Structures are given as C-alpha cells and as structure tokens.
A and B are shown apart, each in its own frame.
Chain A
Amino acid sequence: MASYSTNEFKGGLKIMLDGDPCSIIENEFVKPGKGQAFNRVKIRNLKTGRVLEKTFKSGESVEGADVHETDMQYLYNDGEFWYFMDPESFEQVSADSAAVSESSKWLKEQDLCMVTLWNGTPIIVEPPKFVVLSVSDTDPGLKGDTSGSGGKPATLETGAVVRVPLFVQIGESIKVDTRTGEYVSRAKDE
C-alpha cells in the first residue's frame, strides 16, 4: 500500500494508525514563523468509529489503508456472520457482528448496503437510508383511535422496534428512515 506524506493529507484520506484503518476528517497546518511545522489532524478510527486527534511533524509519511466503500447485496445471516454479495462480480464476503453492529436490525435480504472493506474484509455495514419492513407485532387493540398522540411500538420482521401511528397493523409493510430509526409512511404492498 502506498504511503502518504502530510502534504497529501485531506478529508477522506484513508491511513493506517496503530494498526487500525482510519479516515482523516480535518487537517490543520500549524507552523511558527521560525521553527518546526506540524499537521494537527482529526481522524476517525474506522473499526471503532472513535474520533481522535493526532499531531504529525510536517513532511512525515504515514502508511495508507486499503479501504474502499462499495454497494453490496445482503444475502443472509447464519447466526454468526452476515453474508454480502457484490452484485457485479457475485463475489461474497462475510461480516462479523463488530462490522454489522447496530445496522443488523435493518438488514433485509436482497437489500443493497454500503459496505466498507479493509483489505477485502467488511469493517462497516451501512443499511439503505430507507428500508421497507413488515410489522410482525404491535398492539391491535388501539385500532380506530386516530387522535394519534404518540403512536405505539411495533416490532418489525428484523427485530427492530419503532414507534408507528396507531392505525398500523400486524402484517403491514412500513417505510423506516434507518438514520433516525423513525417511521416514514405505510408502504404499498409489493
């Protein structure tokens, strides 16, 4: 993998830090008129998601990280791993629970997800921004009450729980915004 000098630092550049792949968020050049120049860098650790700061001597080089993002189709979960397929090459990869993390509750078979690969292995799985999932359980007794104060909880086919309006019933499909975890609308039957 190529290495990058501090002069190549910019937002989005992927580098290796302490053995983990990281993405540069911000890069600030600090230099006294007479004296050592520094690059003060804000970095996201792509494995843990944590943001950290790091100070480099200007001109130093850092190893690049072989990280790229690609759209992949979610196939299935075997209890331990989640399997994804590149829709063009049909190549499959398996993601562990650390990579899938909170996204697991939105994953529906066939959906296209954004998968971040490091050396070919998934480290981040992002679900589609909107998913359509069917309601597997919700309190039916509230039908008819349309005053709609706060809605009610509904459990979806993937196990996610979202608040839905009172009129939503078991077996219906709804559209959910995965970034906020909020109900958007009822989905037309496909």
Chain B
Amino acid sequence: MSQLDQWRPSASLGMMRRRARLLREIREFFWRAGVLEVETPVCSRFAATDPAIDSFKTRYTGPQAAQGLPLYLQTSPEFPMKRLLCADSGPIYQICKVFREGELGDRHNPEFTLLEWYRPGFDHHKLMQEVAELVNLLSDEVLPVERLSYAEAFQQNLKVDPHNATIEQLRAAAIDHGLPGIEDLVLDRDGWLNLLLSHLIEPGLGQQKMTFLYDYPASQAALARVSGDSPAVAERFELYISGVEIANGFHELDDSAEQQRRFEKDNNQRFEAGRPAVPMDEWLLQALEQGLPACAGVALGVDRLMMVLTGSDNIRDVISFDLDRA
C-alpha cells in the first residue's frame, strides 16, 4: 500500500453493499422475532475483568467532572445489556462497535462490530439453534449444522481428555501433533488448552458447515453457568465456520455472589500477570442481586461472519477503513 492510497477504503464497494444487506437482514430477523434493538454506552466507568482482554481507557473532563472521569471503552456490551434484562427489558439485541487493546492481525482489528443478543427463557442449546437459523438466513448457501462438545473435539482430533489431562499430557499432545517451536512455552492448563484448540483443532472446524463447540471446561466459564460434576462444564458455546471463531455464547450466570467471585478472581489473575486491575461493574452486581431472568446470550463477530460468508482472508477486506487507515 503506497502512502498515496491510504485515504482509500480497505473494503471494496461491493463488499460494503454486501455488509449493508447483512445488517438489514439481521435487523429484519430480530424485528420479526420480537427482539428489541437497544443501544448502551460505549464508554463506561467499569471495564471487562477478563484476564485475556484489555480495554482502551479514556477520560471525560468537563461539567460535573472537573478533575476528569476515567472511562473504559467497551470490549462487549454485555454488562449494560444484562442490566437492561434485570430491568425487565425482555429479549434484546444490539449491533455496536467494541474495542480491544492489543489485538491486530488477519482476523483482528482493535475496533470491530459485535452483534449481541439475549433470550430470556432460552438455554445455550436453544440459542445455538437460533444462531444457526440467523446465519443460514444471512448466508448465500445453507450450511449444515454440527454440534460437538469441547471434550469430543479434543478426543477426535488429539485423543486427549481436556477435562482431566495434566499440563504434561497437554504439552505432550501439542508436541506429538507437530506444533512447531513450543518447547520453551510456559503456560497454565487453560493456556495449553487454548493453544491446542486454536492451533490444532480450530482450523478443521466448520468446513462447509457450522460447528458449535459447547460445554467448555469450568475453568473457562467466563460469564456462563457451570453445571454437572463429572466433569463440571461451563454452559458455553462457540460457533466456528471455515476454521474461524464467529460467536461465543453463554447460558448466563445469574448469581450475583458468584459473579463477584469471578470478577475478583479475574483481577487477581491480572495482578499476577502484571496487568492493571480494572474496576468491576458494581451496578451489574446490584442488578444481578435484583434478579436476572434465566436467559442465554451470545456475541457474534459481524466482521468475522462477513469474512467467512465472502471468503475473505483478511478482516480489512470487510471493513471500510482498517487500523492502517483509521
């Protein structure tokens, strides 16, 4: 790319038209389904505590904040949307920009578009069905749907039990399956699971189909409920198409005390990793105490979906201006 061309969009006009059609079809889908479109603040006093996600930080200074009010750009609209649910909104969806520090690559741009929605009365299995319905509405060809538990995916691909294997066994699996240059890596158990999943399993998922991976290790529950005890699994799923992670959904945790414990655990992990602790959303905790209706929710990467629907291998091809041109 020459300096002189940098003012030009990174996506073609045809791609932008395809994207506009996709957004319209998403809105029509939810209109017909009686799901309310909402908007929530992009900037918040609170941040995502997830140890693997970093927020951009900014500041408001002016009337009512002479000294400046630190604000975080949302990494997902999850917390305010749950507060709406606790305030009896009923089913809701949102299409919004989210921001993640430190993420740039063929499939990552630091700001990107999420479609996030919540369904009171659904569990994660019922929500997977609705995700599949929506994706097939947006796709030019109908994709068959496959559901695979996290344990099945590891068993089939690597002959490893992800819920019970030791760190040494996971490391050995990575080496046995020819993952190059990992001899010196020092990772915790979830780190090894993430390495195996992202490097050895993901690329094969969702080939000419949609693959839903579900029932994640309890240690990777994030904001999902945990159920069962042999082994305990997180009621969480991810959607893969053409080897690309497209969506992440939960049967949502509704226990305020447990939510607070997870926030604190996240912040401890952040501290141990030498990253700054961030303020946890106290208003979400209060709202959960009030009561979150039993529900399932999912966040779907609109840019990633555009990539797989159009066969693009770089995210810049599906957004008008990528970071290089922003």
Contact = CB atoms under 8 A, between A and B. Distances in A.
Interface stretch (A52-60, A84-92, A156-164): A52-60
A184 B309 CA distance: 50
A57 B185 contact: yes
17 contacts: A29-B105, A29-B108, A30-B105, A31-B52, A31-B108, A32-B52, A32-B245, A33-B238, A35-B190, A35-B198, A36-B194, A36-B195, A37-B52, A37-B103, A55-B180, A55-B199, A58-B102
A28 B187 contact: no
Contact of A52 (B52, B181, B185): B181
B220 A52 contact: no
B50 interface: yes
Query: What range describes how many residues of A lie at the interface?
Result: 20 to 34
A40 B52 contact: no
Interface residues of B, number: 30
B276 interface: no
Given A34-B53, A54-B181, A55-B180, 13 more contacts: A29-B106, A30-B198, A31-B52, A32-B245, A34-B220, A34-B222, A34-B248, A35-B190, A37-B103, A38-B195, A55-B181, A56-B185, A57-B185
A183 B97 CA distance: 60
A4 to B, nearest CB: 16
Contacts of B185: 55-57
A7 interface: yes
B179 A37 contact: no
Contact of A55 (B106, B195, B248, B301): B195
A59 B270 CA distance: 13
A38 B181 contact: no
Contacts of A56: 185
Contacts of A55: 179-182, 185, 195, 199
Interface in A12-39: 28-38
Contacts, number: 73
Interface of B: 50, 52-53, 102-106, 108, 179-182, 185-187, 190-191, 194-195, 197-199, 220, 222, 238, 245, 248, 299, 301
B197 A37 contact: no
B187 A36 contact: yes
A40 B199 CA distance: 9
Contacts of A37: 52, 102-103
Nearest to A18: B184
A33 to B, nearest CB: 5
Interface in A46-104: 52-59
Nearest to A30: B198
B105 A28 contact: yes
B191 A53 contact: no
